Amino acid sequence: MQRRDWFSFGSFFYWLLVLFLYLPILLLLVFSFNDSESLRFPLQGFTTRWYSEMLVTSGLIDAAKNSIVVGLLSSLVATALGTMAAIAIIRFNFIGRTAFLAVSALPLVIPSVVIGVALLILYRLVFNVELSLWTVGLAHVVINIPIVMLIVAARLAGFPDNLEEAAMDLGTSYWGAQLRVTLPISFPALVAAFLTAFTTSFDEYAMSVFVIGTDATLPVYIFSLLRFPRRLPIVVALGAIIMAASVLIIVFAERLRRVGSEQ
Amino acid sequence: MENRSRVAVLISPSAVFLVVLFLIPLGIMALYSFRAGAFGPESQVFTLDHYREFSRNATFHRLLGRSAWLSFRVSLLAILLAYPVAYFLVFRTGESRLFLLTVIIVPAWVSYLLRVLSWKVILGGNGVLASFLEWIGFQPGGPILIYSPEAVIVTLVYVWIPFVALPIFAALERIDRSLLEAAADLGCGRFEAFLRVTLPLSLPGIVAGFLFVFIPTVGEYVTPALVGGPDGIMFGNLIFSQFLRGLNWPLGSLMSLAMLVLILVPLFLVGRFVRLSDLAGI
Amino acid sequence: MRAYRRVTLVWMSILMPLVLALVLVACGSGGGAGDEPETETETSVDEPAATAEEEAAEPETADTSAEEEAAMPEEPLLVLEWSGYTAPEVPEMFGPFTEKYTATLEEVVEYNLFADDAEAYTKMQTNVGADLVHPCHSWWGLYVEAGLVQPLDTSRLSNWSGLHPELAALGEFNGEQYFVPWDWGYETILVRTDLVENVPESWADVWDEEYAGHVVPWDSAESNFIMAGLSIGITDPVNATPEQDEQIKQRLLDLKPSILTYWVDYTEAYDLPQTGDAWVLTNVWPDAYGFLLSEGYEVAYVNPTEKRLGWVCGYGISSDSTNLDLAYEYLDAAIAPDSMAALANTYWYGAANTEALPMIDEFAVEFMELDQMDTLFERTYFPEPISEEKRQIMVSIWDEVKAAP
């Protein structure tokens, strides 16, 4: 039985943290309506022109779309691969397990700049493939695999494999048991891993800047725009929209979840 | 024997990715540290000059140490702030915990750059903090907090908290509640039960979260460049500068290797005392 | 029942983002058919989504000949460019070109964006396949040396004669013209005159105790090296001797206690003077000056006794480009007087074509001193192209200065 302590210390701390996390974002929201080109107080008056300007800045919209697509696809792949690897690490004791674990943790250790340049050399000078969103996506998968692995492995370690074995005893194949037992049970961890991977990919700059072709991702576009500070409020407006969209998605997902578990 | 084939299937996609798109390029990168230049005829010349240059440069070594220390503080703070929140979510909020967790994650979706810039607004000379203090009568002599290592720490902690909360949340979630009940039955107070049951069991999540922040932060360069000021420079800025401004890829590769060694050595030492698998919570 | 629902939920959450991604890709297929890496064997293992995505993104057919007067070029032009200078974003800066290809602009020219000269150089060296590149002149020598750009046939540029001859001469190497100058500007000291007692009159003045704690240099190894060199009387810092390098390093270390912070991106050059914390900023470009003036701040854009720094950026055609007709067309459009005037009026940088002067706003002409082009090279130090070795020395010195506690 869980106690709902909405007014306890923990609750207070939680909401304080939420405030801390959202305050800068709320500031962005405020500035997106500010009638001035610089991000400073005092405020200069209300305007919606940044939003309308943003909608006609085709480069920005395209970059945002690209980031979403690359993020979703690369996170899906990374989640799939990382989960599989996590299952292998946790459930089996094989030769080279420690080595594999160490190697897969390495992408977290190397600065993204280095991975970016290394991959650029690989793509252009070794394989001679054109740079594109695909090359960026593959790079994102590489850095997200360890993240997914760690998150899912931490979860998998917590429950023994009895259930899987039971399912197999009842006639399911090994892979069936994974699909029907392991994955659903570790579902929250998968979601957490996916979200983390998506966030990492969506925000990734240092590495992406090197392996990107003619289609920009959002962070690359924003960074390159910083040379023109008069364009910055447009970016702020986009940030506000992303926030609003995220909130909507969350609320929607929560509704879905409530419906789903009303059985 | 079935097990072998299962393992093979499970890890081969990741293994292929990691080898082709990671190990091999890195190997090429490491070889670069022995070249005289990044492009053209110079890149064919083998030399140890960069190694000599780097090993003689005490300023760079000290910077590496300072960066590691700063990352350590950032990670520690992030853990200290994220843990209570994760604990609260797992143990006190029931079914809506995933939702509430996602509420914490969502700010991370807004561009990192914008979030750092908004902190500049808050901390800067005419920002929220300064104008608020003026309003209540306290006159700061100059810019508060910003353009300092402290600003870097605050900003990085702000950035990383959502990411630290996740593994701690996952680890806390899988703790068997009956253990806590058993502890209560045996006469443990709530705090004692926490210390002796919850905390140790969540340790893998804590360590995972710590490493998750610490390791990339050592190589961080964007935040130091924006809010760090003259004293807030970190080693990542050097690497960035050598690769992207000086075109000195050999030296940049070498510095990356140095950073890698710095991080791996403590990891290895930890590995002697704690099995690597324990860290991952296995 | 419960287990069944959970499994459904799992599949739903996999399919929904996938569907979302496919929809977005289908909607946004304006970038042409997706590039497919030919040699990566892993793609078949990892992406069931990959093939589905290609089916969803319809390849563009270049079949617009019905309405098009101009012949459609076979291959789009690829320009390696700073962000903010792409024809779809600022069509008036490439007037004749965008007018000719209005309907099909996005198919005729594509862009690979960069945020820094070093990045552009790296991309060129790793063969990104660009036809045109837009670097700044201290890098031009490297491009020529490395054989990355081809000599230009200036007779193919109808607007060539309007270009300021001394700026154009900067793009000449070994008797051949390799770069077409386009945008230029100064780098000098920006001062809040209402916050300081004495306005600096030379680079050396920046080191004055009066400004301690309120100096903001640009985080650029090249510019700081040059500035420090000029401030101790070295007239040509980019050709400094090793002893002079050491002097410059020490000079920069001496400045460190006065530094408030560095400005990295241009937003800070606009913002910092407004906060009142930064009194003296160095190596600032003209647009910040124009902006602050127009916002009513009391600022000065100094003419130091040792001369202002100058920069000019321009276009070169890459050596392995085969799209020459289109490249020359684009270039000619860029240096047309109207286009150049649009550049000056929008971004507050100088225009290399002197014939654009009558069309530039008076305010801009005044604060950028555009009507004094004759004396430009007397008042301004345009450094010679910097060798790779020298650049590495500059970067290392600057890094050491920054890393010093």
User: How would residue C338 be classed by pLDDT, with cut points 50, 70 and 90?
Assistant: very high
Decide if C28 and A66 are in contact by the 8 Å CB cutoff.
yes
- Where residue A101 falls (left for φ over 0; alpha for ψ -120 to 50; beta otherwise) is alpha
Q: What is the pLDDT of residue C6?
A: 55
Amino acid at A155: R
User: How would residue B135 be classed by pLDDT, with cut points 50, 70 and 90?
Assistant: low
Residues making up chain C, counted from first to last: 405
Decide if A224 and C119 are in contact by the 8 Å CB cutoff.
no
DSSP C66: T
Q: Alpha carbon of B19 to those of A142, B15, C331, C400: distances in Å? A: 10, 6, 44, 35
CATH architecture of C185-310+385-403: 3-Layer(aba) Sandwich (3.40)
Closest chain C residue by Cα to residue B240: C399
Neighbours of B5 (CB within 10 A): 10
Q: Which of A2, A101, A117 sits opposite B94 (nearest CB)?
A: A2
**Average pLDDT of the residues of chain B:** 81
Is a pLDDT exceeding 90 seen at residue C243? yes
Q: Which of B111, B115, B166 sits opposite A192 (nearest CB)?
A: B166
Identical fold between C71-184+311-381 and C185-310+385-403: yes
The answer to whether residue B38 is domain-embedded is no
Would you call B261 an interface residue with chain A, using a CB distance cutoff of 8 Å?
no
**Average pLDDT of the residues of chain C:** 82
Decide if C45 and B13 are in contact by the 8 Å CB cutoff.
yes
Name every chain A residue with its beta carbon within 8 A of the beta carbon of C113.
216, 220-221, 224
- Smallest CA–CA distance, residue A16 to chain C, in Å, is 29
Spatial separation of the C-alpha atoms in residues A41 and B176, rounded to whole Å: 51
* Beta strands at C215-216 and C280-284: parallel, antiparallel or unpaired: parallel
Name every chain B residue with its beta carbon within 8 A of the beta carbon of C392.
246-248, 251
Q: What is the pLDDT of residue C22?
A: 65
Q: Which of B12, B126, B225 sits opposite C275 (nearest CB)?
A: B126
Would you call C271 an interface residue with chain B, using a CB distance cutoff of 8 Å?
yes
A110-167 per-position pLDDT tens digit: 777 778 878 877 887 677 777 788 889 999 999 999 889 887 887 787 778 788 888 8
Q: Which two tokens stand for residue B17?
A: 């990715």
> Which residues of chain A are modeled with pLDDT < 50?
1-2, 262-263
User: How would residue C279 be classed by pLDDT, with cut points 50, 70 and 90?
Assistant: very high
Contacts of B72 (CB under 8 A, 6+ apart): B214
Closest CA to C270 of C296, C300, C297, C292: C292
Would you call A14 an interface residue with chain B, using a CB distance cutoff of 8 Å?
yes
CATH number assigned to the domain comprising residue B90: 1.10.3720.10
Q: Are C17 and A72 in contact (CB under 8 A)?
A: yes
Name every chain C residue with its beta carbon within 8 A of the beta carbon of A134.
34-37
- Burial category of B92 from C-beta neighbours within 10 Å (exposed 0-12, middle 13-18, buried 19 and up): middle
* Mean pLDDT to the nearest integer, B232-257: 83
Q: What is the pLDDT of residue C245?
A: 93
Is a pLDDT exceeding 80 seen at residue C210? yes
Decide if C36 and A69 are in contact by the 8 Å CB cutoff.
no
| Residue ranges of domains in chain C | 71-184+311-381, 185-310+385-403
Would you call A134 an interface residue with chain C, using a CB distance cutoff of 8 Å?
yes
Is a pLDDT exceeding 90 seen at residue C341? yes
* Mean pLDDT to the nearest integer, C231-254: 92
DSSP B21: I
Closest chain B residue by Cα to residue A107: B22
- Smallest CA–CA distance, residue B56 to chain A, in Å, is 23
Q: What is the pLDDT of residue C397?
A: 92
Spatial separation of the C-alpha atoms in residues B274 and C348, rounded to whole Å: 61
Spatial separation of the C-alpha atoms in residues A100 and C189, rounded to whole Å: 55
Q: What is the pLDDT of residue B128?
A: 66
Helix runs in C101-154, H state only: 105-108, 117-125, 140-145
Decide if B24 and A40 are in contact by the 8 Å CB cutoff.
no
Is a pLDDT exceeding 90 seen at residue C151? yes
Spatial separation of the C-alpha atoms in residues A189 and B132, rounded to whole Å: 42
Q: Hey, which residues does C133 pair with through a beta bridge? A: C80, C316
Q: What is the pLDDT of residue C206?
A: 93
pLDDT, greater one: B119 or C30: B119
Lowest-confidence segment of B38-42, B81-85, B125-129, B158-162 by average pLDDT: B125-129
The answer to whether residue B36 is domain-embedded is no
Q: Give the DSSP H or E segment for A218.
A: helix A218-225
Would you call A129 an interface residue with chain B, using a CB distance cutoff of 8 Å?
no
Amino acid at B103: V
Helix runs in A43-186, H state only: 49-56, 58-91, 97-105, 112-120, 133-156, 162-169, 174-177, 183-185
User: How would residue C144 be classed by pLDDT, with cut points 50, 70 and 90?
Assistant: very high
Q: Alpha carbon of C147 to those of B210, C111, C142: distances in Å? A: 48, 22, 8
The answer to whether residue B76 is domain-embedded is yes
Name every chain A residue with its beta carbon within 8 A of the beta carbon of C49.
73, 76-77
Is a pLDDT exceeding 90 seen at residue B40? no
Spatial separation of the C-alpha atoms in residues A63 and C44, rounded to whole Å: 26
Q: What is the pLDDT of residue C35?
A: 33
Q: Are C277 and B142 in contact (CB under 8 A)?
A: yes
Following CA atoms C369, C375, C377, C378 in sequence, which dihedral angle do they give, to the nearest 10 degrees? -120
Spatial separation of the C-alpha atoms in residues A191 and A151, rounded to whole Å: 10
Q: Please, how many CA atoms are within 13 Å of residue C220, restricted to the half-sphere of its CB?
A: 20
Closest chain A residue by Cα to residue C89: A57
Give the domain range for residue B229.
Answer: 60-280
Closest CA to C109 of C100, C118, C117: C100
ipTM of the complex: 0.75
Closest CA to C125 of A103, B249, B125, A12: B249
Q: Are C286 and C301 in contact (CB under 8 A)?
A: yes
Looking at the structure of chain B, the number of domains it has is 1
Spatial separation of the C-alpha atoms in residues B39 and C35, rounded to whole Å: 27
- Smallest CA–CA distance, residue C165 to chain A, in Å, is 28
The answer to whether residue B197 is domain-embedded is yes
**Which domains can be identified in chain A, with CATH numbers?**
58-262 (1.10.3720.10)
B46-63 per-position pLDDT tens digit: 888 888 888 888 888 999
Closest chain A residue by Cα to residue C122: A210
- Smallest CA–CA distance, residue C35 to chain A, in Å, is 6
* Mean pLDDT to the nearest integer, B206-220: 83
Name every chain A residue with its beta carbon within 8 A of the beta carbon of B15.
100
Q: What is the pLDDT of residue B204?
A: 77
pLDDT, greater one: C298 or C271: C298
pLDDT, greater one: C8 or C124: C124
pTM of the predicted model over 0.80? no
Q: Which two tokens stand for residue C343?
A: 């550049």
Decide if A113 and B113 are in contact by the 8 Å CB cutoff.
no
Would you call B132 an interface residue with chain A, using a CB distance cutoff of 8 Å?
no
Closest chain B residue by Cα to residue A239: B110
Q: What is the pLDDT of residue A50?
A: 86
Q: Which two tokens stand for residue A21?
A: 């996390």
Closest chain C residue by Cα to residue A187: C10
What chains are in contact with B, requiring at least 3 Cβ pairs below 8 Å?
Answer: A, C
- Smallest CA–CA distance, residue C158 to chain B, in Å, is 35
Q: Which fold has domain C71-184+311-381?
A: D-Maltodextrin-Binding Protein; domain 2 (3.40.190)
Q: Give the DSSP H or E segment for B267.
A: helix B249-273
Q: Long-range pairs for C8-14 at CB < 8 Å and ≥24 separation?
A: C8/A260, C9/A187, C9/A257, C9/A260, C10/A183, C10/A184, C10/A187, C10/A190, C12/A256, C13/A191, C14/A76
Spatial separation of the C-alpha atoms in residues C137 and C180, rounded to whole Å: 10
* Mean pLDDT to the nearest integer, B201-214: 83
Spatial separation of the C-alpha atoms in residues C241 and C119, rounded to whole Å: 27
Q: What is the pLDDT of residue A170?
A: 85
